[in-house]
Amino acid sequence: MALGPGKAGGVQVYGSQLLSHLHQPLQPARCAHHLHHLDKGMKKDGPGDAFWSRPESRIWTVMLLLGTCLLYCTRVAMPICAVAMSARFDWDKKQSGLVLSSFFWGYCLTQVIGGHLSDRIGGEKVLLLSASAWGSITALTPLLIYLGSAHLFLMTVSRFIIGILQGVFFPALASLFSQKVRESERAFTYSTVGTGSQVGTLVMGGAGSVLLEWYGWESVFYFSGLLTLLWVYMMCKYLLNEKEIIIPFEDLAKGLSMSKQSKVPWKQLFKKAPVWAVIVAQLSAASTCFTLLSWLPTFFKETFPDSKGWIFNVVPWLVAIPASLLSGFLSDQFINQGYKTITTRKMMQVVGSGVSSIFALCIGHTTSFCRAVALASACVGLQGFNHSGIAVNVQDLAPSCAGLLFGVANTGGALLGVVCVYLAGHLIESTGSWTSVFHLVAMVNVFGLCTFLVFGEAQRVDTDSAYVDL
């Protein structure tokens, strides 16, 4: 396991060499110099001994894939149940849009603080804290909504709180991977874990549709909430020790604070054009993904009322899984073969935001159910290439505060997602046509892509002399 910067010109110390070297007696005069030399090498390229070994990386990747899957199971529970709940509680499109968008209002509030907290106390701890909370609330949602007659208000508040709790998830992942995964393996690892978003949507699209038809909308929330709590239990039992699970209040308070020693130099970071490029591209991609996630089930249900829900809720996300894995494989292969990192990131993003937008434009112009499913599958599937583009570019730019920077970018995405999800409902209500919704998705995607292509870079921007490491 490399502790030095390696190719950058520093000294490399491998695990076997380090162990044999440490067993040799050190002269007192040389001991301090030796430790200083190792410490200097580690600080330059990050804590090298913190990288996961390959077996550890595989286990964590699988478990985090499951966690992301369950994140999306709970997230898409509401879109899948939206039509049934609207009929049950007599909501119109604007009221449905309010409930659907309330998730993103909460989601945008905790992105930055979640990323900063993950950089300070560890992303795995933040993941488990949030998952245990959102799993509990999701499982209790059917009980909470019947506490009073204000069903719309109670459901809106419930989704808002779940958004707050899930807002820390992806910034925590970005922070965790920047500290635990090597750069040459980062795209495939992130894209693999990122497929959990499609797997979760796929599972909930299939199982959720069956549960909805057989047992009612309440069963969908019970299913996703209880499975999330089971995942938290498995993580605590098999992957983390007691010290990693228990977070002292003092450590939590320190993680939430920004002291002078750990304060992020906003002026230094946000003077860099590449930082703004990845933020704009991320907020564009996230908001359009949220819009499709929220409204596609309703589009198919209303446009093709005789169609089976499990088809349009399953097939697009099934296609997205191999597409996302392929993007990660291709990205790492290109980099290992000598392609520039930024060139690779931009190629992935052209597919993820550009080509997918072409298929989005076509969805609203077809009258064939099979063709609509094929176009939606291509659109959603190709968006998986974003996992190997802008999603890992954040870690390229600022590995020492990747969680926080990703949180800033995702906050913008959540805010724009709120606007787009609500605007989509308003457009449907006003025009009576779905074409305008898919035009909105394409326009936002293309704007973010063009910004990233012009200004995107992959050099670190957190190594300025004025920068203070978190």
The Cα–Cα gap between 109 and 356 comes to 28
Angle of helix 111-121 versus helix 249-256 axis, rounded to 10: 130
Residue among 335, 8, 409 nearest 174 (CA): 409
What is the reported pLDDT for 30?
A: 39
Confidence of residue 282 (pLDDT cuts 50, 70, 90): confident
Write down the pTM of the prediction.
0.68
Q: Which two tokens stand for residue 325?
A: 């894995």
The Cα–Cα gap between 382 and 281 comes to 15
Q: Which two tokens stand for residue 454?
A: 């012009």
CA distances from 314 to 160, 199, 200, 281, 371 (A): 26, 9, 10, 27, 15
The Cα–Cα gap between 292 and 209 comes to 18
Q: What is the mean pLDDT of residues 199-213?
A: 85
What is the reported pLDDT for 122?
A: 80
pLDDT tens, residue by residue, 395-404: 788 777 777 7
Confidence of residue 243 (pLDDT cuts 50, 70, 90): low
The Cα–Cα gap between 267 and 390 comes to 22
What is the reported pLDDT for 2?
A: 37
The Cα–Cα gap between 171 and 401 comes to 10
Residue among 218, 211, 180, 177 nearest 194 (CA): 177
If one compares 422 and 451, the residue with the highest pLDDT of the two is 451
Position 417: which residue type?
G
Q: What is the mean pLDDT of residues 192-203?
A: 83
- Nearest 5°: the CA angle 337, 341, 347 is 90
CB-based contacts of 333: which residues, under 8 Å, 6+ apart?
none
pLDDT tens, residue by residue, 422-442: 888 888 888 888 898 999 999
If one compares 223 and 264, the residue with the highest pLDDT of the two is 223
- Residue written as tokens 């169609």? 307
Per-residue HEC secondary structure of the chain comes to CCCCCHHHCCCCCCHHHHHHHHCCCCCHHHHHHHHHHHHHHHHHHCCHHHCCCHHHHHHHHHHHHHHHHHHHHHHCHHHHHHHHHHHHHCCCHHHHHHHHHHHHHHHCCCHHHHHHHHHHHCHHHHHHHHHHHHHHHHHHHHHHHCCCCCHHHHHHHHHHHHHHHHCCHHHHHHHHHHHHCCHHHHHHHHHHHHHHHHHHHHHHHHHHHHHHHHHCHHHHHHHHHHHHHHHHHHHHHHCCCHHHHCCCHHHHHHHHCCCCCCCCCHHHHCCCHHHHHHHHHHHHHHHHHHHHHHHHHHHHHHHCCCCCHHHHHHHHHHHHHHHHHHHHHHHHHHHHCCCCHHHHHHHHHHHHHHHHHHHHHHHCCCCCHHHHHHHHHHHHHHHHHHHHCHHHHHHHHCHHHHHHHHHHHHHHHHHHHHHHHHHHHHHHHHHCCCHHHHHHHHHHHHHHHHHHHHHCCCCCCCCCCCCCCC
Q: What is the mean pLDDT of residues 82-111?
A: 86
The answer on pLDDT for 415 being more than 50 is yes
Residue among 286, 65, 313 nearest 202 (CA): 313
If one compares 293 and 28, the residue with the highest pLDDT of the two is 293
Whether 123 and 414 have beta carbons less than 8 Å apart is answered as no
The answer on pLDDT for 308 being more than 60 is yes
Confidence of residue 31 (pLDDT cuts 50, 70, 90): very low
CB-based contacts of 217: which residues, under 8 Å, 6+ apart?
81, 84, 85, 88, 142
The answer on pLDDT for 184 being more than 50 is yes
The answer on pLDDT for 143 being more than 80 is yes
The answer on pLDDT for 466 being more than 80 is no
Q: What is the mean pLDDT of residues 277-292?
A: 88
Compute the mean pLDDT over every residue in the chain, rounded to the nearest whole number: 79
Return the percentage of the chain with pLDDT > 70, whole number.
81
Q: Which two tokens stand for residue 384?
A: 């998986």
